[in-house]
Amino acid sequence: MRGGPLVVVGDTLLDVDLHGTVGRVAPDAPVPVVECQRERHRAGGAGLAAVLASGFGDSEVVLITALAQDRFGQRLHDLLCPHAQVISLPLDGGTPCKIRVQASGQPVVRLDAGDGRARPGQVSAPAERALRQAGAVLVADYGRGVAAHPGLMALLSRLAAATPVVWDPHPVGGRPLPGSRLVTPSQGEARRFAAALSGDRQGTAGCDSVLATASRDAAALCHAWSSAVAVTLGEGGALLYTGEAVPFLAPAEAIRGPHDSCGAGDCFAAAAAQALRSGGLLTEAVTEAVRRATQFVRQGGASAAPGATIPGDARQVHDVPRSGPPDVHGDMDAWRTVAEVRAHGGRIVAAGGCFDLLHAGHVGLLRAARGLGDCLVVCLNSDSSVRALKGPGRPLMRAEDRARILTALECVDAVVVFGEPTPVAVLDRLRPDIWVKGGDYAADELTEAAVVRRNGGEVVLLPYLSRHSTTALVAAARGKVAS
């Protein structure tokens, strides 16, 4: 593992989401009137990458960016400080701000303000010290001057041979630093960059497949930029080209239902940079970045990232505590799936447990449970919850891996992880029509039965295959190892 912080260099902007409903049309113009109910502020651009990176490792995160001395700049500074050390460069003009208005979940309009650009000049002592001490550097280039700062780039050029540099480019930005360890364009960005290299102004890809086009573009950019290139393919994962004859593909897990991928590129680059800072190989960094970006989108994307919310009926701002994207597999997917099934009149079935080493007894129970309704949601004990129930040697697998195995079963529609000793709180929110437990439980042992029935659901015990238990499997395995 490399020492030193992860240093994020780039342009930061303020994202403001206004959420409301539309109940009428304006009397003076044929436009909807949005009744604003909630206002949410969060960091965008390099600021979002820094916030996310702070949740991906135990290293310090330093953000070198440009902020004006205006209300947007001060708001950003307040949002960023719980997650990263902020080193601010002078900004000529106003701090960029993007205001998105949504009504009943649908975008209505986006308003952009602030034309600021980073002012060229000497690199401050704190910025130079942070870069020289960096374990890795992530450059998030949004074309507003920080990634083109002559002093910063000259210093980075001298450090790149020994310090991993991840460059997240954008079409309005400049050429990545030659010798960067990894450049992370999206599929569309890679196509445009490669087309510009070849003089193809239309940027056409012919009839090639997505992978063939991405491979060709990545190879061209790798040679032109003297860097490994990872082209992000959305639901297709990411394709890494390092100059070898065969590229490396890191696939992504499927995400059910509609989702917002805004900010996924920042998440991918932040995760890759943290993995390289920890000494990971390029293939390991790209694989981890795909996993993190998929999880980020599943949890709601940039709209669910740490920020601050102002309720429509209050002026006080409530800051979200420091954290990365929730490290819970499938929660957002679970609630979305339940809402869709319930909207169509379907019956929700829920089952719960630790599922630490999935065995035949578990599978039989879950299959039977799924047959009772139209959707099966598994309520899964978190790692701390399992440890409290089973002792210090458990769980054998972390919650994220247990959830991944469960969702691979055809009979399981979604998984939600809970951290309490019992699933009472999650069931109160889930409100299943049927709550299922194995027949090895007695009805009077189910403390959660009351909340299920209070919400109109019923509780049933299903037959449970005898002679199958995780505890017995663990004991048998340990006995064989000991012998």
The pTM assigned to this predicted structure is 0.68
Identify which of 197-201, 269-273, 399-403, 460-464 has the greatest average pLDDT.
Answer: 269-273
Identify which of 23-27, 29-33, 125-129, 343-347 has the greatest average pLDDT.
Answer: 125-129
| DSSP code, position 234 | G
Please give the Cα distance from 463 to 439 (Å, whole number): 5
* CATH 3.40.50.620, applies to 331-478: yes
Arithmetic mean of pLDDT, 9-30: 90
Model pLDDT, residue 117: 93
Question: Which tens digits make up the pLDDT trace of 138-163?
Answer: 999 999 999 999 999 999 999 999 99
Please give the Cα distance from 356 to 33 (Å, whole number): 51
Architecture of the structural domain at 6-311:
3-Layer(aba) Sandwich (3.40)
Place of tokens 């364009």: 185
- pLDDT tops 90 at residue 334: no
Decide: residue 195, CB within 10 A, 0-12 exposed, 13-18 middle, 19+ buried.
Answer: middle
Arithmetic mean of pLDDT, 115-128: 91
Predicted confidence band of residue 331 (pLDDT cuts 50, 70, 90): low
Q: Is the dihedral of CA 357, 362, 364, 366 positive or negative?
A: negative
- pLDDT tops 90 at residue 19: no
Please give the Cα distance from 150 to 147 (Å, whole number): 9
- Residue 219, number of CB atoms within 10 A of its CB: 18
Q: Are 335 and 298 in contact (CB under 8 A)?
A: no
Q: Which residues pair with 228 in a beta bridge?
A: 182
Q: Are 35 and 21 in contact (CB under 8 A)?
A: yes
Model pLDDT, residue 321: 32
Whats the size of the chain, residue-wise? 483
Q: Are 277 and 59 in contact (CB under 8 A)?
A: yes
Boundaries of every domain in the chain: 6-311, 331-478
Predicted confidence band of residue 327 (pLDDT cuts 50, 70, 90): very low
Please give the Cα distance from 11 to 65 (Å, whole number): 6
As a whole number, the mean pLDDT across the chain is 84
By C-alpha distance, which of 122, 124, 14 is closest to 62?
124
Please give the Cα distance from 446 to 430 (Å, whole number): 17
Please give the Cα distance from 41 to 27 (Å, whole number): 30
More confident: 356 or 373: 373
Helix axes 210-225, 187-198, angle to 10 degrees: 60
Residues 6+ apart with CB under 8 A from 402: 354, 355, 356, 358, 380, 395
Model pLDDT, residue 464: 61
CA neighbours closer than 13 Å in the CB half-sphere of residue 289: 39
Helix axes 71-80, 46-53, angle to 10 degrees: 20
Range from 246-255, 263-272, 277-286, 330-339 carrying the lowest mean pLDDT: 330-339
Residue 288, phi then psi, degrees to nearest 5:
-65, -35
Fold agreement (6-311, 331-478): no
Please give the Cα distance from 438 to 466 (Å, whole number): 10
Q: Which amino acid is at 111?
A: L
Residues 6+ apart with CB under 8 A from 195: 201, 202, 203, 204
Predicted confidence band of residue 475 (pLDDT cuts 50, 70, 90): low
Q: b/e per residue, 24-45, with b = 16+ CB within 10 A?
A: eeeeeeeebebeeeebbbbbbb
Q: Which residues pair with 41 in a beta bridge?
A: 16, 308
- pLDDT tops 50 at residue 482: no
Model pLDDT, residue 317: 29
- Residue 199, number of CB atoms within 10 A of its CB: 6
| H or E stretch covering 62 | strand 61-66
By C-alpha distance, which of 84, 92, 85, 233 is closest to 149?
92
Predicted confidence band of residue 57 (pLDDT cuts 50, 70, 90): confident
Arithmetic mean of pLDDT, 302-327: 47
Catalytic residue numbers read: 266
Question: Hey, is 87 helix, strand or coil?
Answer: strand
Question: Which tens digits make up the pLDDT trace of 268-310?
Answer: 999 999 999 999 999 999 999 999 999 888 888 777 777 766 6
Arithmetic mean of pLDDT, 363-376: 91
- pLDDT tops 90 at residue 173: no
Question: Which tens digits make up the pLDDT trace of 89-110?
Answer: 999 999 999 999 988 778 889 9
| H or E stretch covering 228 | strand 228-232
Arithmetic mean of pLDDT, 200-206: 56
Predicted confidence band of residue 480 (pLDDT cuts 50, 70, 90): low
Task: Quote the tokens at residue 365.
Answer: 């129970």
Residue 407, phi then psi, degrees to nearest 5:
-70, -15
Please give the Cα distance from 165 to 276 (Å, whole number): 9
Please give the Cα distance from 477 to 474 (Å, whole number): 5
Please give the Cα distance from 42 to 308 (Å, whole number): 7
Model pLDDT, residue 305: 74
Provide, rounded to the nearest whole percent, the portion of the chain with pLDDT above 90: 49
